[in-house]
Amino acid sequence: MASASATYEIKNEHGEVINTSTGLSNKKLLMWAFLGSDVMFFGSFIATYLVYRNRSLVGPYPADILEIPITSVSTFVLLMSSLAMVLALSYIQQGRQKLGTFWIFSVVVLGSIFLMFQVYEFNHFAHLGLTPRTNLFGTTFFILTGLHGAHVTLGVLWLMFLGFGSLKGTLRKDNAIDLELAGLYWHFVDIVWIVIFTVIYLISARDVAPPGSPPFVGH
């Protein structure tokens, strides 16, 4: 995270490193390349989900389980955390330390709320009889959303670390780039959720038993 080159770094007034051949900050370039790599990671899982859509041999199927209202609330929470993130960065970059700190911790809180929703959802589904071992839908659903949740958890920890740094004054206007990296990561996790919400919930939430498979009658 905080690794950097001592050989070249000279920062401009925005705290950005300028003395590189492209004029781009090393860290930010690294982050964008990493996000490109993560595109392939989530892309593979989402592709797997779509391949296995409507292929489960036993229930429960999406239509028996998924509840759009609850998940749309958690989606809204994650979107708002993205907004809080961009505001935090904006204020830290302007040197308005207190507002920035407030918004960083808002992101932490909103991200944690999202995670609680996910824990609730997982428990609820397990109660209804869907676990990763039940059928293909369960496998692909839990692993994809679970790994997204792991990304969110990592982001929450990272932002908590930065939030305390901002409280103590080690995260300031001149090294706001560290927060910007965490922000890029956080927004990326958010756009992944936008795609997951669309693919799993909005597109396939009405999927019932595929032809040849028995309907789900509950346990």
Partner 1 sequence: MANFWNKLLYHDGRGWWDLPRTQWQDPNPQMEGPFGDGITPIKKAWDFITAASYHHGTPLFYVVIGVILSIITIVEVWAFNWLFLGGLLIPLMLVLSLGKFVLVVGFFMHLKFDRKYYAWIFTACMVIGIGIFVALLLLLEFGHQVQQ
Partner 2 sequence: MRFPRIFPRPKSEYGIWSWISTVDHKRIGTLYAVTSFLWFLVGGIEALIMRVQLSQADSTLIDPELFNQLFTMHGTTMVFLVVMPLSAAFFNWLVPLQIGARDVAFPRLNALSYWIFLFGSLFLNFSWFVGDAPNGGWFGYAPNSHVAFNPTHGMTYWVIGLNILGIASIAAGLNFIVTILNMRAPGMTLTKMPVFTWMTFVTSVLIVLALPVLTVALIQLQVDRLYGTHFYNTAAGGDPVLWQHVFWLFGHPEVYILILPAMGIVSEILPVFSRKPLFGYTFLVFAGVAIGFMGWFVWSHHMFTVGLGPAANSAFAISTMAIAIPTGIKIFNWIGTMWGGSIRFTTAMLFAISFIAMFTIGGLSGVMHASVPTDAQQQDTYFVVAHFHYVLFGGAIMAIFGGIYFWWPKATGYMLSEKLGVTNWLLMLIGFNLQFAPQHWLGLDGMPRRIFTYAENMGWENTNMYASAGGFIMALGVLFFIINVIYSARKRVPAGDDPWDGRTLEWSISSPPPHYNFEKIPNVAHRDDWWFTKHPELIAEYYHDEHAGELRAPSGAQFDDDDFAEDEHAEAHASDHHDDDDHGHGIHLPDMSYYPFILAIGLTIIGAGLMTYIPVIIVGVVILLWGLLGWSMEPVNDPAPEGEAHGH
Binding interface with partner 2 (CB under 8 A): 1-8, 10, 19-24, 26, 29-30, 33-34, 36-38, 40-41, 44-45, 48, 51-52, 55-57, 132-133, 135-136, 138-140, 142-143, 147, 161, 164-165, 168, 170
- Pick the closer one to partner 1 by CB: 86 or 128: 86
- Pick the closer one to partner 1 by CB: 93 or 139: 93
Look-up: residue for tokens 């496998």? 139
Count other C-beta atoms under 10 Å from residue 4's C-beta. 16
Helix (H, G, I), strand (E, B), or coil: what is residue 219?
Answer: coil
Look-up: residue for tokens 């869907």? 130
**E strand map for the chain:** none
CB of 13 to partner 2, least distance (A): 14
Q: How far is it, in rounded angstroms, from Cα 50 to Cα 109?
A: 32
User: Would you call 71 exposed, middle or buried from its count of C-beta atoms within 10 A (0-12, 13-18, 19+)?
Assistant: buried
Count other C-beta atoms under 10 Å from residue 170's C-beta. 11
- Pick the closer one to partner 1 by CB: 79 or 113: 79
Q: How many CA atoms lie within 13 A of 118 on its CB side?
A: 24
- Write 2-11 long-range contacts (CB < 8 A, 24+): 2/178, 11/174
- Pick the closer one to partner 1 by CB: 108 or 184: 184
* Helical axes 176-196 vs 26-51, angle rounded to 10°: 10
CB of 34 to partner 2, least distance (A): 6
Find which of partner 2, partner 1, none residue 120 binds, CB within 5 to 8 Å per kind: none
Binding site for partner 1 (CB under 8 A): 14, 22-24, 28-29, 32-33, 35-37, 39-40, 43-44, 46-47, 50-51, 68-69, 72, 75-76, 79-80, 82-83, 85-87, 90-91, 93, 183-184, 187-188, 190-191, 194-195, 197-198, 202-203, 205, 212
Find which of partner 2, partner 1, none residue 102 binds, CB within 5 to 8 Å per kind: none
CB of 123 to partner 1, least distance (A): 23
Cβ atoms 74, 118 nearer than 8 A: yes
- Pick the closer one to partner 1 by CB: 164 or 201: 201
